[in-house]
Structure 1
Amino acid sequence: MYVVNNPAFFLSHRLPLAQAALARGDEVHLATMPGASVPEVLALGLVHHSLPMTRSGGNPLQELRTLGSIWRLFRRVKPDIVHLVTIKPVLYGGIAARLAGVPGMVAAISGLGFLFMGKSGWKRRIALQLYRCALGHRNSRVIFQNEEDRDALLQAGAVRPAQVVMIRGSGVDLQRYPALPEPDGPVRVVMAARLLRDKGVEEYVAAARQSAAAGAGVQWLLAGQPDPGNPASVTEDDVAGWRAEGAVEVLGERHDIAALYASAHIVALPSYREGLPKSLVEAAACGRAVVTTDVAGCRDAITPGVTGVLVPVKDAAALARAVMELAHDAEQRREMGRQGRLLAEAEFDIRKIVQMHLAIYDAVSPRQLAAPAA
């Protein structure tokens, strides 16, 4: 059973794992909050369970209700293995799995969230205590996408070294994301992400203004939309102002990311912190040079100086300079794209990612535990 906050996130980031488990004969369930993507989940042959889960965590009674609902679900369905993805499912699902006696648990740490961006405080201490409780399952694996998140939870005593598995991201289908030649015309840079302040969207817009003021001739594209359920989201008024200003071309939400990257020359993501961003994995597969920030997750998605360029976080001027330098150096830009594709083939191929997960499921399977010793 997969436990994820949002069914749309499951479809975009974990669906190949579930399909591979189904193909080998496993019964696969998915527990999420309600959403418009649930019918698609059902059509794929998965059993869906709705959870009373909210995006925010401001109401303690609501959070306890969510934890209790997950516990009751585990007690009723009795999954052999639960795979917990995103922060709330990991924290609450991990505690519920221990209380309900679920035989095997897999937790995917796809970023530790905003609590780990700033200085330590009481909220961070509470979060670490929750991680210690949630990840204490005796028969479990904890998947990390970058070393910084791994080290933070190891040092806090929230995970044991034997639990740790490193997998760089959720993978990419290399056939659906081909590496195509750069298009003709002006150099285009694109950022594709939810429009959150901690994704660096404001720095991206500021860098576009500086590029325009310098007469660089670079076109700056922004794909995504605000996320009203997230306190870090920009507003619709912000987006309307950017459209009116014209420094960036605001595209709205796009699902044809491979085609979008094929129409561009550079991919940028000036985020403050990530697990390992799918947008940069897809950029590598598409053979596009990357400009991103020197923070956890982002630096792990590239080979610095080989497939992309790292810039300081929250530094719009450095972002603008790096983009403009690549815009005017076609040879370096194209070589970075070529190396990015090689990186994707070596590290991000969805087929390899799927096989690694199936091996983890086998390792924590109660069938494996029941097998006689050799």
Structure 2
Amino acid sequence: MPMKAVLFANTDWYLYNFRRALAMALQRVGYDVLLISPPGPYGDKLRALGLRWEPLPMQRRSLNPLRELALLWYLTRLLRRERPMLVHGFTIKCAVYGSLAARLAGVPARVNAVAGMGYVFTSSHLKARLLRPVVRGLLRLALDGPSARLVLQNTDDVELFRSAGLVDPAHIRLIRGSGVDCAQFAGISRQASEDGVPRVLLASRLLWDKGVGEYIAALRQLRSQGRTVHALLAGTPDPGNPAAVPESTIRGWVDEGLLNWLGHVDDMAGLLGSVDIVVLPSYREGLPRTLVEAAACGLPLITTDVPGCREVVSDGVDGLLVPVGNSDVLAQAIERLQDQPEFARRLGDAARRKARTQFDERIVIQRTIAVYAELCDMPADSDESSV
């Protein structure tokens, strides 16, 4: 009988874009896989790939105790019905709810992947500060125990969880990112700008803490200096996140002539092949996939010297690091890459080499399956070609 694993995320978009390769690799090495998330348009895309996916009655921003208890009970009943050997939760809310439900349902093993500390731990808003001790206590309950493993994406978060006493350090595993098919991105053909003006891209969920405001301020500064760049913004506001940038604000920037807003982009390889510089002035990350994809394309990167981002970029080696919240230095970094194309090319070449050796999805999938094998008494598959 095949080993059954449940992968639980807070959006079907996340499962499709970040974990479908893992789910399909698990199937190939003998797992029966069930994907669960709130409903959305990507559920049918997952099913079209031959994966099982079920929607959940979950609201990401809900703080209603009755609704949250109902969700926990729903998850518990689902896990009792499915009887998996392992539940793997992604993001803090899914880690907490998935682990609590797994305990109640008698699931033998729990794996939790927390990509960054999330709104509750990074925001200074009153609501976030009030929720912090509650979430901290729930995390201890969810992450504790010999049959649990916590997967973190960067060394800063490893140290943070260790120092906070949220989990036994022996149960922490470092796996850098969710993995990128580097061969797909390395194989794209880069298109030269027709007018020779560099094309600069910020691609992310449109949240203030992704550094969108600093990007806009840097573009204004460049324009005030008579600099010309083709600035692009890809992504959509996330209404489930309190830090979402209002769409009206974005349209105002477009009307101001600062940038071209592309909205949601499915073909990231095609988009990255059409730009010259990628920036991500984020306040904190787990490990940003956009930077890894851009690195795999051989693009020069500019990002902030913060957890997650500095896992991808070493300053002056494979990209440029700038202080968080500093639009002046961000503008100067864009100027430097514009004025020094040979330096920019060297950074991009080094970024490509690093992406292939550290962040390729084959590496991530193998290490994830090895974590499962620790808990489920199933041998880890060491044949790289199988994943």
Deviation by residue 1:198-241 (Cα, 9 ceiling, x = unmatched): 11111111111111111122221111122222221111211211
1:282 to 247, 272, 293: 293
Residues 1:353 and 2:359 aligned together: no
Q: How does 1:287-298 map to 2 (within 5 A)?
A: 287-298=298-309
Q: How does 1:61-72 map to 2 (within 5 A)?
A: 61-72=66-77
Q: How does 1:31-180 map to 2 (within 5 A)?
A: 31-118=36-123, 121-178=129-186, 180=189
1:53 CA displacement: 0.9
Cα separation, 2, equivalents of 1:102 and 1:137: 13
Deviation by residue 1:271-320 (Cα, 9 ceiling, x = unmatched): 11111111011011011111111111111121222111111111111111
8 Å CA contact 1:80–1:366 kept in 2: the answer is no
Give SS of 1:175's match.
helix
Residues 1:329 and 2:340 aligned together: yes
Cα separation, partners in 2 of 1:348 and 1:82, compared to 1, 3 Å? same
Q: Which residue of the partner structure matches residue 5 of structure 1?
A: 10
Cα separation, partners in 2 of 1:79 and 1:101, compared to 1, 3 Å? same
Cα separation, 2, equivalents of 1:367 and 1:13: 24
**Structure 2: unaligned runs, 5 residues or longer:** 1-5, 380-387
1:214 to 225, 228, 250: 225
Q: Which residue of the partner structure matches residue 23 of structure 1?
A: 28
Residues 1:267 and 2:278 aligned together: yes
1:241 to 245, 252, 277: 252
1:14 CA displacement: 0.6
8 Å CA contact 1:56–1:229 kept in 2: the answer is yes
Cα separation, 2, equivalents of 1:234 and 1:29: 33
Which segment drifts farther, 5-14 or 246-255? 246-255
**Structure-1-length-normalised TM-score:** 0.94
Cα separation, 2, equivalents of 1:315 and 1:121: 25
Deviation by residue 1:72-124 (Cα, 9 ceiling, x = unmatched): 21112110111111121101111221222211111111111122225694422
Aligned-residue CA RMSD (Å): 1.6
Cα separation, 1, equivalents of 2:153 and 2:368: 13
**Structure 1: unaligned runs, 5 residues or longer:** 369-374
Q: Which residue of the partner structure matches residue 232 of structure 1?
A: 243
Deviation by residue 1:127-168 (Cα, 9 ceiling, x = unmatched): 211110110132122110012222222122211122111111
Cα separation, 2, equivalents of 1:312 and 1:340: 20
Letter in 2 for 1:102: V
1:49 CA displacement: 2.4
Cα separation, 1, equivalents of 2:253 and 2:108: 51
Letter in 2 for 1:40: K
Q: Which residue of the partner structure matches residue 3 of structure 2?
A: none
1:330 CA displacement: 0.6
**Structure-2-length-normalised TM-score:** 0.91
Structure 1 segments (4+ residues) deviating >3 Å: 118-122, 179-182
Q: How does 1:249-260 map to 2 (within 5 A)?
A: 249-260=260-271
Deviation by residue 1:24-73 (Cα, 9 ceiling, x = unmatched): 22111011111111112222222222211112032222222222211121
Cα separation, 2, equivalents of 1:231 and 1:322: 29
Give SS of 1:176's match.
helix
8 Å CA contact 1:191–1:222 kept in 2: the answer is yes
Q: Which residue of the partner structure matches residue 198 of structure 1?
A: 209
Give the percent of matched residue pairs that are identical in Structure 1 and Structure 2: 43
Cα separation, partners in 2 of 1:118 and 1:33, compared to 1, 3 Å? closer
Cα separation, 2, equivalents of 1:305 and 1:54: 42
Cα separation, partners in 2 of 1:358 and 1:212, compared to 1, 3 Å? same
Which segment drifts farther, 322-331 or 221-230? 221-230
8 Å CA contact 2:20–2:46 kept in 1: the answer is no
Cα separation, 2, equivalents of 1:131 and 1:155: 14
Letter in 2 for 1:316: S
Deviation by residue 1:243-274 (Cα, 9 ceiling, x = unmatched): 11011121111111112111111100011111
1:367 CA displacement: 5.2
Cα separation, 2, equivalents of 1:274 and 1:336: 21
Count matched residues: 368
Letter in 2 for 1:64: L
